[in-house]
């Protein structure tokens, strides 16, 4: 049973709000860290995103979850998806955040819908957002294209892209090789020290963001292989210079 699936059954069976004041309306997606729902905040009358993490399935440390959520809630930047609340019930821990309507950077890159100029602009925004988070002492730990949302109708400035899932990667089992679902995707953007089980710091986030942008310009991730083990063996190996892959790019990017 996918994480959070029991919640959907309760919601559809009763038609009443679940998880406190939030009524789960529609599944938006699922990944290694749980299920994301479109939900209605019945108190403030607004749409939100709710990520439900199954405690039994994911081995969540509730105390650590609260610490991580408090840290992430300090972040206030237009390039970061705002976290509104963390809650829990008997089976789940859930995080309520700003609803951003748009597409993941992963989908847009796969579809070839991004120009070099737009990728560079997104990269500038993400670097600034990451700098803000690090200044607050918050490490993301899982930066990858799937965790970047590009709004459908971006505002000016930093609204062109938003980092999501701050702290979520640290709520569950830290060993990436034990995870299911998007394991290969996570490993392909992971810093060498993080893949070896060491604590992820600011440098690990910067490394992951650099690989994300490298893929945007080059069209593929040079670390990704056919499976988790093969990908893990490539982590930390020297990468081909971007300029060798894209000789048409300005030297500042290579």
State pLDDT tens for residues 171-189.
554 444 444 444 444 889 9
Mean pLDDT across the stretch 137-163? 83
CB 9 within 8 A of CB 37: no
What is the C-alpha separation between 199 and 194, in angstroms, rounded?
A: 6
Could you tell me the pLDDT band of residue 8, with boundaries at 50, 70 and 90?
Answer: very low
What is the C-alpha separation between 112 and 106, in angstroms, rounded?
A: 10
Strand pairing class (102-104; 148-151): antiparallel
Of the listed ranges 10-19, 30-39, 221-230, the least confidently predicted one is 10-19
Cα dihedral 86, 88, 94, 98 sign: negative
What is the C-alpha separation between 50 and 150, in angstroms, rounded?
A: 18
Strand pairing class (22-31; 34-41): antiparallel
Helices 116-135, 202-218: crossing angle, 10 deg rounding: 170
Residue span(s) of the chain under CATH 1.10.510.10 come to 102-253
Catalytic-role residue among 142, 174, 175, 220: 142
Give me the CATH code for the 102-253 domain, please.
1.10.510.10
Give per-residue pLDDT as tens, 106-141. 999 999 989 999 999 999 999 999 999 999 988 898
3-state secondary structure of 239: coil
Q: CA 242, 240, 124 angle in degrees (round to 5)?
A: 35
Q: 142 catalytic, yes or no?
A: yes
Q: In the CATH scheme, what architecture does the domain 5-98 have?
A: 2-Layer Sandwich (3.30)
Residue span(s) of the chain under CATH 3.30.200.20 come to 5-98
Closest to 51 in 3D by CA, of 84, 107, 116, 95: 95
């Amino acid at each position: 049973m996918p994480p959070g699936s029991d919640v959907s059954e309760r919601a559809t069976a009763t038609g009443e709000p679940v998880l406190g004041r939030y009524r789960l309306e529609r599944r938006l997606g699922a990944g290694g860290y749980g299920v994301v729902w479109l939900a209605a905040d019945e108190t403030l009358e607004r749409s939100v995103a709710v990520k439900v993490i199954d405690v039994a399935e994911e081995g969540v440390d509730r105390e650590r979850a609260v610490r991580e959520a408090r840290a992430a809630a300090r972040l206030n930047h237009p390039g970061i998806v705002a976290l509104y609340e963390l809650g829990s019930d008997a089976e789940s821990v859930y995080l309520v955040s700003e609803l951003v309507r748009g597409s993941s950077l992963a989908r847009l890159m796969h579809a070839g819908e991004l120009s070099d100029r737009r990728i560079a602009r997104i990269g500038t925004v993400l670097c600034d957002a990451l700098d803000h988070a690090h200044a607050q002492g918050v490490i993301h730990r899982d930066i990858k294209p799937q965790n970047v949302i590009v709004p459908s109708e971006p505002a000016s400035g930093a609204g062109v892209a938003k980092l999501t899932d701050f702290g979520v990667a640290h709520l569950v089992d830290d060993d990436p090789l034990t995870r299911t679902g998007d394991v290969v995707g996570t490993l392909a953007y992971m810093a060498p020290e993080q893949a070896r089980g060491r604590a992820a710091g600011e440098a690990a986030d910067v490394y992951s963001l650099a690989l994300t942008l490298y893929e945007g310009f080059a069209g593929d991730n040079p670390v990704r292989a056919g499976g988790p083990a093969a990908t893990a063996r490539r982590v930390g190996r020297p990468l081909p210079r971007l300029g060798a892959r894209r000789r048409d790019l300005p030297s500042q990017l290579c």
